[in-house]
Structure 1
Amino acid sequence: NTAFDVVKKVFPSSQIIENRVNKYPIRVIITAHTSDDDDAVEIWSGRQQDLFSKYKSKRINAMKEINASLEGLKKSIMS
Protein backbone atom coordinates (compact mmCIF):
# COMPACT_ATOMS: atom_id res chain seq x y z
CA ASN A 1 0.00 0.00 0.00
CA THR A 2 1.49 3.30 -1.10
CA ALA A 3 0.30 5.39 1.85
CA PHE A 4 1.54 2.80 4.38
CA ASP A 5 4.93 2.66 2.71
CA VAL A 6 5.44 6.42 2.84
CA VAL A 7 4.38 6.61 6.50
CA LYS A 8 6.65 3.71 7.49
CA LYS A 9 9.61 5.34 5.71
CA VAL A 10 9.37 8.47 7.86
CA PHE A 11 8.02 6.85 11.05
CA PRO A 12 9.16 3.20 10.98
CA SER A 13 7.74 2.34 14.40
CA SER A 14 4.36 3.98 13.81
CA GLN A 15 1.14 2.10 14.42
CA ILE A 16 -1.19 2.25 11.43
CA ILE A 17 -4.90 1.71 11.94
CA GLU A 18 -7.21 1.38 8.94
CA ASN A 19 -10.69 2.83 9.03
CA ARG A 20 -12.41 1.68 5.86
CA VAL A 21 -15.60 3.34 4.69
CA ASN A 22 -17.46 1.92 1.71
CA LYS A 23 -18.57 5.19 0.23
CA TYR A 24 -17.82 6.69 -3.19
CA PRO A 25 -15.74 8.47 -4.24
CA ILE A 26 -13.13 6.60 -2.23
CA ARG A 27 -10.77 8.94 -0.40
CA VAL A 28 -7.70 8.29 1.67
CA ILE A 29 -7.17 10.43 4.75
CA ILE A 30 -3.94 10.12 6.70
CA THR A 31 -4.06 11.47 10.24
CA ALA A 32 -1.58 11.32 13.09
CA HIS A 33 -1.84 11.27 16.86
CA THR A 34 1.39 12.38 18.51
CA SER A 35 0.23 11.28 21.97
CA ASP A 36 -2.77 9.55 23.52
CA ASP A 37 -4.48 12.80 24.47
CA ASP A 38 -3.81 14.74 21.27
CA ASP A 39 -6.44 15.34 18.63
CA ALA A 40 -5.72 13.90 15.22
CA VAL A 41 -3.63 16.01 12.86
CA GLU A 42 -4.49 15.63 9.19
CA ILE A 43 -1.39 14.79 7.18
CA TRP A 44 -2.92 14.27 3.74
CA SER A 45 -6.22 13.56 2.06
CA GLY A 46 -6.93 12.76 -1.53
CA ARG A 47 -8.52 10.38 -3.98
CA GLN A 48 -7.52 6.76 -3.62
CA GLN A 49 -6.83 6.67 -7.36
CA ASP A 50 -4.02 9.19 -6.85
CA LEU A 51 -2.11 6.42 -5.05
CA PHE A 52 -2.50 3.78 -7.79
CA SER A 53 0.67 2.79 -9.62
CA LYS A 54 -1.11 2.99 -12.98
CA TYR A 55 -1.41 6.78 -12.48
CA LYS A 56 2.33 7.26 -12.06
CA SER A 57 2.58 11.07 -12.04
CA LYS A 58 -0.38 11.47 -9.66
CA ARG A 59 1.08 8.78 -7.40
CA ILE A 60 4.50 10.44 -7.33
CA ASN A 61 2.93 13.82 -6.49
CA ALA A 62 0.79 12.30 -3.73
CA MET A 63 3.79 10.49 -2.26
CA LYS A 64 5.80 13.74 -2.26
CA GLU A 65 2.95 15.61 -0.55
CA ILE A 66 2.54 12.89 2.09
CA ASN A 67 6.28 12.73 2.70
CA ALA A 68 6.59 16.51 3.02
CA SER A 69 3.74 16.65 5.54
CA LEU A 70 5.20 13.77 7.55
CA GLU A 71 8.66 15.36 7.56
CA GLY A 72 7.08 18.61 8.78
CA LEU A 73 5.31 16.74 11.56
CA LYS A 74 8.52 14.95 12.49
CA LYS A 75 10.39 18.27 12.63
CA SER A 76 7.73 19.83 14.88
CA ILE A 77 7.78 16.81 17.21
CA MET A 78 11.56 16.87 17.50
CA SER A 79 11.77 20.59 18.31
Structure 2
Amino acid sequence: MRKLTRITISSEVMGGKPCIRGMRVTVGMILGLMATGRSQEEILRAYPYLESEDLKECLAYAAWRVEEVEVSLSTT
Protein backbone atom coordinates (compact mmCIF):
# COMPACT_ATOMS: atom_id res chain seq x y z
CA MET A 1 0.00 0.00 0.00
CA ARG A 2 1.24 3.46 -0.80
CA LYS A 3 2.05 5.79 2.05
CA LEU A 4 -0.86 7.93 3.17
CA THR A 5 0.32 11.52 3.37
CA ARG A 6 -2.98 13.30 3.98
CA ILE A 7 -4.17 11.37 7.04
CA THR A 8 -2.64 12.64 10.27
CA ILE A 9 -2.93 11.54 13.87
CA SER A 10 -2.04 13.89 16.70
CA SER A 11 -3.14 13.77 20.32
CA GLU A 12 -3.55 17.55 20.10
CA VAL A 13 -6.13 17.44 17.28
CA MET A 14 -9.54 15.84 17.82
CA GLY A 15 -8.23 13.69 20.65
CA GLY A 16 -5.91 11.69 18.42
CA LYS A 17 -8.53 10.59 15.90
CA PRO A 18 -7.31 10.25 12.31
CA CYS A 19 -7.83 13.61 10.59
CA ILE A 20 -7.30 15.09 7.18
CA ARG A 21 -4.08 17.10 6.88
CA GLY A 22 -4.07 18.11 10.55
CA MET A 23 -7.44 19.82 10.27
CA ARG A 24 -10.35 19.20 12.61
CA VAL A 25 -12.03 17.03 9.98
CA THR A 26 -11.94 13.38 10.97
CA VAL A 27 -11.70 10.44 8.64
CA GLY A 28 -14.71 8.98 10.45
CA MET A 29 -16.82 12.04 9.71
CA ILE A 30 -16.03 11.88 6.00
CA LEU A 31 -16.65 8.12 5.86
CA GLY A 32 -19.96 8.66 7.66
CA LEU A 33 -21.03 11.19 5.04
CA MET A 34 -20.07 8.77 2.27
CA ALA A 35 -21.91 5.92 3.99
CA THR A 36 -25.13 7.95 4.12
CA GLY A 37 -24.96 8.54 0.38
CA ARG A 38 -23.34 11.95 0.09
CA SER A 39 -21.45 12.28 -3.17
CA GLN A 40 -17.88 13.45 -3.41
CA GLU A 41 -19.12 16.65 -5.02
CA GLU A 42 -21.53 17.33 -2.13
CA ILE A 43 -18.81 16.78 0.45
CA LEU A 44 -16.35 19.04 -1.37
CA ARG A 45 -19.01 21.75 -1.67
CA ALA A 46 -19.78 21.53 2.06
CA TYR A 47 -16.07 21.54 2.96
CA PRO A 48 -14.36 23.67 0.28
CA TYR A 49 -10.96 23.39 1.99
CA LEU A 50 -10.91 19.64 1.25
CA GLU A 51 -9.63 18.14 -1.98
CA SER A 52 -10.74 15.03 -3.84
CA GLU A 53 -7.46 13.32 -2.93
CA ASP A 54 -8.36 13.79 0.76
CA LEU A 55 -11.52 11.75 0.23
CA LYS A 56 -9.62 9.02 -1.62
CA GLU A 57 -7.15 8.75 1.24
CA CYS A 58 -10.02 8.45 3.74
CA LEU A 59 -11.21 5.39 1.84
CA ALA A 60 -7.68 3.99 1.57
CA TYR A 61 -7.19 4.46 5.33
CA ALA A 62 -10.48 2.69 6.08
CA ALA A 63 -9.55 -0.20 3.79
CA TRP A 64 -6.17 -0.55 5.51
CA ARG A 65 -7.79 -0.51 8.97
CA VAL A 66 -10.32 -3.24 8.23
CA GLU A 67 -7.57 -5.49 6.90
CA GLU A 68 -5.45 -5.05 10.02
CA VAL A 69 -5.12 -8.23 12.05
CA GLU A 70 -4.79 -8.10 15.81
CA VAL A 71 -2.81 -10.91 17.41
CA SER A 72 -3.14 -11.69 21.11
CA LEU A 73 0.17 -11.88 22.89
CA SER A 74 0.74 -14.72 25.29
CA THR A 75 1.22 -13.70 28.92
CA THR A 76 3.28 -16.81 29.74
**Is TM more than 0.5 here?**
no
- Rg bigger for which structure? 2
**Which has more strand, going by share of residues?**
1
TM-score, length-scaled by structure 1: 0.30
TM-score, length-scaled by structure 2: 0.31
Query: Larger RCO: Structure 1 or Structure 2 (Cα < 8 Å, ≥ 6 residues apart)?
Result: 1
